């Protein structure tokens, strides 16, 4: 392994490399390079390699102790704002931020201060909304007016109907009119339940002119589930037809596969999720309709994580969650 760092900190890095407890710092700033020397590689410089960090990475004891304090503070904050919380464990490996900019060919989202992987609230909101759109599209396909409409075209209309601003967002008739304009093909026989559900989702996620009423917090792993267990594992994917993908050449078995290593969160890591109603006043929180909206968002997020998954490669089964 070799480290390419400014000369004035080379000595410091070499001396303290093994003692660095922040995994994020180690991966992103003290980038390890591996492989043969440039001379053996025909003058080609070695590449950054996750393998230099080991195939299973544990969170150092000191870093875990600091993270435990932060985790407790977040729990207290959620209690103070009456957030809806729940815990799910990774049913399969989880990858967040795989395509982020990085000196490696792949990346992973790590907390800058504590070096632990986490799931951004924006990703949780996005997957919940995506799942809600697909579920609502399935329901619309059972209605006569939409039976012959292509599923994905209908899903696009549902998305537009959820995001399209109404003249008056507090007027049920204006909201219903905005939904009808985007869906098209809606008749008086369309069940009111469809419009009611879409109004709920619009309030939950917001529109182009109005922010959503529900806050999706970042999800962090439970310190108990990562104690003495790897928090990251090395995984691999091997594209077999790179000239086909990159240059449009015909795919063939004569191409050499190029293994690409990436880091993933292992199975069995418990994450703590939280949602809160945006209006923090006691009067707003005590309204039954707002509590119901929060409960609906919690149920929808939980279902999306179990059925669809979050992060990269969900089509291959990554990112699924399960109760434990």
For residue range 303-322, what is the model confidence (pLDDT) as tens digits? 999 999 999 999 999 999 99
pLDDT in tens, 91-123: 999 999 988 888 777 889 999 899 999 999 999
Distance between CA atoms of 124 and 117, rounded to whole angstroms?
Answer: 14
Predicted TM-score (pTM) of this structure: 0.85
pLDDT at residue number 285: 57
pLDDT band at 189 (very low <50, low <70, confident <90, very high): low
Is the CB of residue 262 less than 8 Å from the CB of residue 95? yes
Does the pLDDT value for residue 287 go beyond 60?
yes
Distance between CA atoms of 109 and 32, rounded to whole angstroms?
Answer: 18
pLDDT band at 47 (very low <50, low <70, confident <90, very high): low
Q: From residue 2, give the alpha-carbon distance in Å to each of 11, 32, 55.
A: 13, 6, 18
Higher pLDDT, 284 or 317: 317
pLDDT at residue number 90: 96
Distance between CA atoms of 189 and 170, rounded to whole angstroms?
Answer: 24
Is the CB of residue 162 less than 8 Å from the CB of residue 133? yes
Q: From residue 310, give the alpha-carbon distance in Å to each of 100, 159, 206, 212, 316.
A: 15, 19, 21, 20, 12
pLDDT at residue number 127: 95
pLDDT at residue number 2: 66
Mean pLDDT of the chain: 84
Q: Which residues contact 259 (CB under 8 A, 6 or more apart)?
A: 236, 237, 238
pLDDT band at 42 (very low <50, low <70, confident <90, very high): low
| Tokens of residue 83, six digits | 């957030």
């Amino acid at each position: 392994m070799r480290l390419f760092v400014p000369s004035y900190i080379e000595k410091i890095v070499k001396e303290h490399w093994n003692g660095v407890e922040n995994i994020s710092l180690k991966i992103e700033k003290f980038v390890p390079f591996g492989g043969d020397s440039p001379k053996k590689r025909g003058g080609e410089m070695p590449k950054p390699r996750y393998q230099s960090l080991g195939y299973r990475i544990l969170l150092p004891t000191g870093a875990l102790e600091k993270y435990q304090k932060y985790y407790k503070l977040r729990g207290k904050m959620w209690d103070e704002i009456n957030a809806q919380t729940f815990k799910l464990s990774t049913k399969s490996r989880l990858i967040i931020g795989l395509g982020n900019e990085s000196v490696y060919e792949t990346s992973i989202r790590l907390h800058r201060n504590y070096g632990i992987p986490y799931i951004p609230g924006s990703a949780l909101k996005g997957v919940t909304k995506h799942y809600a759109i697909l579920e609502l599209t399935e329901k619309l396909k059972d209605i006569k007016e939409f039976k012959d409409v292509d599923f994905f075209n209908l899903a696009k209309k549902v998305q537009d109907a959820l995001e399209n601003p109404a003249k008056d967002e507090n007027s049920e008739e204006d909201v219903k009119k905005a939904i009808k304009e985007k869906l098209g093909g809606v008749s008086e026989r369309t069940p009111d339940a469809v419009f009611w559900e879409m109004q709920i989702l619009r309030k939950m996620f917001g529109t182009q002119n109005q922010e959503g009423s529900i806050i999706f917090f970042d999800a962090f792993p439970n310190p108990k589930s990562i104690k003495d267990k790897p928090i990251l594992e090395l995984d691999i994917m091997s594209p077999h037809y790179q000239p086909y993908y990159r240059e449009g050449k015909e795919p063939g078995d004569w191409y050499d596969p190029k293994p690409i290593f990436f880091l993933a969160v292992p199975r069995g890591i418990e994450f703590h999720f939280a949602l809160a109603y945006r209006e923090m006043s006691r009067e707003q929180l005590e309204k039954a309709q707002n509590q119901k909206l929060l409960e609906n968002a919690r149920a929808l997020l939980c279902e999306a994580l179990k059925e669809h998954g979050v992060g990269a490669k969900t089509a291959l089964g990554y990112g699924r969650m399960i109760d434990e």
